[in-house]
Structure 1
Amino acid sequence: MEEVDVAPSVDLLESMRSVGYSLEAAVADLVDNSISAGARRIDIDLEPLSASHVAILDDGAGMSPDQAIAALRLAGSAGERNATDLGRFGLGLKTASLSQARRLTVITKQNEETTGLCWDIDHVRRKGQWSLLRLSAAEIAETPWAGRLNVGASGTLVIWTDLDLLIGDAGDPGEMMRQRVAPLIDSLALVFHRYMRRRADSIKIVVNGNVVVPIDPFLTSNSRTQTSPTQHITIGGSQVSVTAHTLPHVSGLTPEERQRPDLGARMREAQGFYIYRNERLISHGHWYGLARMDEISKQTRVQVDVPNSIDHLWHLDIKKSRAEPPASFKTELRRIISGVIEKGRRVHTYRGRKEVGSSAVHLWDKIRERDGFRYEVNLENPLVSALLSGLARADASRVLRLLESLADALPLQDVFAEMAGNSPVVVAERIESASLESLRLFRDSNDAQPPIESVVAMLKHVEPFSAMSGLEEKVRMVWQEKQVGTD
């Protein structure tokens, strides 16, 4: 049998550009390299005037000339990796960069030696061969941001130029580039939030002069967040950690937290599993078919920590933006999440009701119909019955029709839309005076006056009194009003 050596065409370089990287995923891949190189500061510049370049500069260990050539070798190699390495296929630097630009330049410094290399797609096509350019000292000096690399003892600068796929046919490339800054900051703030929150060796990321503030998707700093004990699962001989978090109801968020899109209008799509590989967020906003993306469960987020030793069991793509769990792991996750999602549901279901057991008397009754449900006013609620008992039959009949009309016109669709957007419920200012009037109505509907302690004990389970603050004090004040009037 005869062997035939088939070298890949230079057209492969163009094909590599179609992997499907977004700007955010491409930059994150380069940040991975910086972190793996031990960087403590990573500066990113999206040139905002003419969109001439994107630059990523780090103060990591840098590379020797041989290491730099190996890093730019298009064949790619995962090589030997330690347990903290963020790499996967050895393709990130090339595929991420060329997915955005036609020219990739890498300038790196180590042991006082500076190396400059460049992949230029147009040059490769003209030559018809895989030709990597080595930059002269003068060419390095002319490269944007190269002067900043000389400040430190070591580091690496990656420059993208001729940004054809990133800019596209934008009429104003500078404006288009400026609009990309904020989404990039938000993405990096989430993907690398655990690296930026470390105390001893935290990493600082700066985008166009803006220091990236980490975004904790689990709101662990909020005292109302409910965090379940971490569970450990063995998959492929390695340990995977699973920690479930139930976020607070919108009323438990601070004003600053409410400004976050993932805690406001986009909270529903932010639920699900958050898959971390060596503390780097790989994938989020999915239940992987194990649960539904329900409005009622949008408070639930599950942190999953996976070591890179079981990469072969996960369907991890080149962009490191999607990870599909193995079948055996899905079985374990299904067991874990059922109780977690139920906890998230209770954040909504029992919101605002201080009920004990099944003896609570609500103002509204939910009526299950064959095709769905509806609400109607509970006529057995003491407040409602007190009102009706004090009216003549004709007047009581008119009030009943009004209550039925109010129930029929209850704006459930609008309420759902507001809650889906995580809009907080604002309590009307009239609630204080209205609560006192309700107590007076209840008081006057009873000829026999039971002890105040008994009244308070009963009203704790009757809406709307169950939601009143300082219920006992209000009851005592209202009952004393009648006693003073009698005296």
Structure 2
Amino acid sequence: MVIASNDVIERIKLAPDAGLVKSLGANHTLESAIADLVDNSIDAGASRVSIRLLTRNDRLAQVEVLDNGKGIDAAAANAAMTIGHQRDYSDGDLGHFGMGLKAASFGHSDVLTVWSTSYGATPVGRRIRRADFSKDFTCEVLSADAAAERAADRQIVLGSELGTSIVWTDVRNAYRGRNRDEARSWLSTRNDALRSHLGVTFHRLLASKRLEIDVLIDERGEALAGPGVPILPIDPFGYATSGHPEYPKDLVARVGDSRVKLTCHIWPAKSDVTGFRIGTKSGEQFQGFYIYRNDRLLQIGGWSDTATPTPARQLARVVLEATGGPFVTMNPEKSGLKFEPVFHDAINKAEASDGTTFLTFLQDAESIYTDANKRKRRRKPAIRPDKGIAPAIRKRIGSELPFIDGDAVNIKWKRMPAGEFLDVDLPAKTLWLNSRYRRLFAPDGGSLNDAPVLKALVYLLTHQVFEGQHLGARDKDEIALWKSVLGAAAATEEHMRAE
């Protein structure tokens, strides 16, 4: 259809329906929502952010994000509470859509309160209630005296009255059951996920000391002066040595007159350190693109339909600095980006100065992974570890060593004479450790799977003697050596700790 140039008779403005508020933040996790609030703090020039997860009867009841940024005045507060309001963003700002504060907050709470103090301005407070806001966009204006009290709280927590406090109350999407242990477990899991997400999302800012973030969990009303636990940076490229001697390597993707650099990394095979593994998730889940904007990580892995994730590609990661342009589109939650078709084509044609292509990079990463697994398969089968060794350690040993069918070895504690540390009971397939020294390795009290480092070491040292049907002369000599040296070491350790 051809659009006529003379068919317009009037121009009208169509205001958004307030009902859209009900869908705000639907795609936000708790972690991504809080990260969005931290973005606002960074844009406000904050160097410190304190996140407070406040509970009532062990259930999450309130979330606070306090910063020492420049704060906002009344006019800016009104704008911040307006759906879709887009201020004049600078190139260095992390904000983008004018939706972040409302979407992040209403995705997880029914009441959003903002307190702020800026230099030379009267302290301000604003509150929007999801139920009212979804009808008519109404916002409550709070007293300057109450805002001044919140500024005094920031002075206690952050050492500055200037700044902003975001408060979520009537928190949704939290544990609602009656089991207190389950509630604590839920909160512990969310805390770990939050710390991992913030640690990797802001790792560049944290590592360079441009930003400090802490998280505190406490009962509501008890947490004002309590110190939070600092967030540590998690560098997804923090390997000591590259897994491939020719990487990292820069590939250049060309789209018309534009050039986009792709920095390709290959992690060392068999990595299992923080950075490769993030939180409780294995490194295999984090292959792909890492897209940064102003040193904030927007996308944590994923191939964005440019390649297919496979176990053999788990060592491959690519850094892309998003500097704008028509090739990458960011979603409001900043939890992933969409590559435009023209950019997909450009990536597949990207090359390094030595002729390496994107496909070559993937093949190199696969080769490192495959070669490492071939080496693993040549290892001699070992007896299976069983009772006394933590399940996670048994699983890891099984990923590194094939097991002999049949018997398993147990590691247990029993009382032995002083100066002895271990004993081998071949018929019972048991390695005994002297319980006299148990407190040296399990100071908080023993359990079946205690002292995991010690038990893993003695399993690796002794497993071969349990794989035969009898002890030969060489085995007996090895056992005598272990008893002599480790017995002396344990006695020395006990003496040194007693001094």
Q: TM-score, normalised by structure 1?
A: 0.65
Compare the two structures and name the one with the higher helix fraction: 1
> How far did residue 338 of structure 1 move?
1.2
Q: Which residue of 1 aligns with 2:163?
A: 155
5+ residue gaps, structure 2 = 1-8, 217-227, 350-356, 382-393, 403-458, 466-499
Counterparts of 2:13 and 2:162, CA distance in 1: 40
Counterparts of 1:287 and 1:422, CA distance in 2: 30
Counterparts of 1:50 and 1:85, CA distance in 2: 35
Counterparts of 1:17 and 1:363, CA distance in 2: 51
> How far did residue 24 of structure 1 move?
0.9
Counterparts of 1:238 and 1:160, CA distance in 2: 43
AA of the residue aligned to 1:273: F
- Matches for 1:268-283 after TM superposition, within 5 Å: 268-283=284-299
Counterparts of 1:50 and 1:59, CA distance in 2: 28
Is the 1:59–1:152 Cα contact (8 Å) retained in structure 2? Answer: yes
Q: Which residue of 1 aligns with 2:206?
A: 196
Is the 2:69–2:162 Cα contact (8 Å) retained in structure 1? Answer: yes
Q: 1:43 aligns with which of 40, 50, 57?
A: 50
Q: Which residue of 2 aligns with 1:69?
A: 78
Q: Which residue of 2 aligns with 1:244?
A: 264
1:167 and 2:174 matched: yes
Q: 1:21 aligns with which of 7, 28, 46?
A: 28
AA of the residue aligned to 2:300: H
Counterparts of 1:353 and 1:21, CA distance in 2: 41
Q: Which residue of 2 aligns with 1:177?
A: 187
Matched residue of 1:102: which SS? strand
Counterparts of 1:3 and 1:90, CA distance in 2: 25
Counterparts of 1:46 and 1:236, CA distance in 2: 48
Is the 1:204–1:211 Cα contact (8 Å) retained in structure 2? Answer: yes
Cα distance change, pair 279–293 in 1 and its aligned pair in 2 (3 A): same
Is the 1:62–1:154 Cα contact (8 Å) retained in structure 2? Answer: yes
Counterparts of 2:16 and 2:251, CA distance in 1: 47
AA of the residue aligned to 2:293: R
Counterparts of 1:133 and 1:212, CA distance in 2: 34
> How far did residue 239 of structure 1 move?
4.7
Is the 1:140–1:146 Cα contact (8 Å) retained in structure 2? Answer: no
- Matches for 1:386-401 after TM superposition, within 5 Å: none
> How far did residue 351 of structure 1 move?
3.4
Is the 2:111–2:130 Cα contact (8 Å) retained in structure 1? Answer: yes
Q: Which residue of 1 aligns with 2:313?
A: 297
Q: Tell me whether 138-147 or 83-92 shows the greater mean CA deviation.
A: 138-147
Q: Deviations over 1:105-142 (max 9, x none)?
A: 111111153111111124446xx532211111343367
Counterparts of 2:93 and 2:265, CA distance in 1: 27
Counterparts of 1:419 and 1:285, CA distance in 2: 26
AA of the residue aligned to 1:343: D
- Matches for 1:445-484 after TM superposition, within 5 Å: none
Based on CA coordinates, which of the two structures has the bigger radius of gyration? 1
Counterparts of 1:233 and 1:263, CA distance in 2: 32
Compare the two structures and name the one with the higher strand fraction: 2
> How far did residue 214 of structure 1 move?
0.9
Q: Which residue of 1 aligns with 2:367?
A: 346
Cα distance change, pair 139–178 in 1 and its aligned pair in 2 (3 A): farther
Counterparts of 1:73 and 1:363, CA distance in 2: 64
Q: Which residue of 1 aligns with 2:340?
A: 326
Q: Which residue of 1 aligns with 2:443?
A: none
Is the 2:83–2:98 Cα contact (8 Å) retained in structure 1? Answer: no
1:105 and 2:113 matched: yes
AA of the residue aligned to 1:207: V
Q: Which residue of 1 aligns with 2:126?
A: 117
> How far did residue 278 of structure 1 move?
2.3
Counterparts of 1:172 and 1:141, CA distance in 2: 39
> How far did residue 261 of structure 1 move?
3.5
Cα distance change, pair 269–138 in 1 and its aligned pair in 2 (3 A): same
> How far did residue 185 of structure 1 move?
0.4
Counterparts of 1:91 and 1:193, CA distance in 2: 24
Q: What is the number of residues matched between the two proteins?
A: 361
Is the 1:297–1:341 Cα contact (8 Å) retained in structure 2? Answer: yes
Matched residue of 1:95: which SS? helix
Counterparts of 2:398 and 2:204, CA distance in 1: 26
- Matches for 1:413-432 after TM superposition, within 5 Å: 423-425=399-401
Q: Deviations over 1:246-278 (max 9, x none)?
A: 11112xx58xx2796449962222111112222
Matched residue of 2:365: which SS? helix
Aligned-residue CA RMSD (Å): 3.6
Counterparts of 2:99 and 2:161, CA distance in 1: 27
Cα distance change, pair 122–237 in 1 and its aligned pair in 2 (3 A): same
AA of the residue aligned to 1:57: L
1:87 and 2:95 matched: yes
Counterparts of 1:225 and 1:430, CA distance in 2: 34
Counterparts of 1:138 and 1:264, CA distance in 2: 45
Q: Deviations over 1:422-461 (max 9, x none)?
A: 944599769999xxxxxxxxxxxxxxxxxxxxxxxxxxxx
Is the 1:106–1:159 Cα contact (8 Å) retained in structure 2? Answer: yes
Cα distance change, pair 191–121 in 1 and its aligned pair in 2 (3 A): same
Cα distance change, pair 220–332 in 1 and its aligned pair in 2 (3 A): farther
Is the 1:118–1:132 Cα contact (8 Å) retained in structure 2? Answer: yes
Matched residue of 1:162: which SS? strand
1:96 and 2:104 matched: yes
Identity %: 26
Q: 1:215 aligns with which of 217, 234, 241?
A: 234
AA of the residue aligned to 1:314: V
Is the 1:116–1:136 Cα contact (8 Å) retained in structure 2? Answer: yes
Is the 2:154–2:161 Cα contact (8 Å) retained in structure 1? Answer: no
AA of the residue aligned to 2:362: I
> How far did residue 324 of structure 1 move?
1.4
- Matches for 1:376-415 after TM superposition, within 5 Å: none
Cα distance change, pair 346–189 in 1 and its aligned pair in 2 (3 A): same
Q: TM-score, normalised by structure 2?
A: 0.63
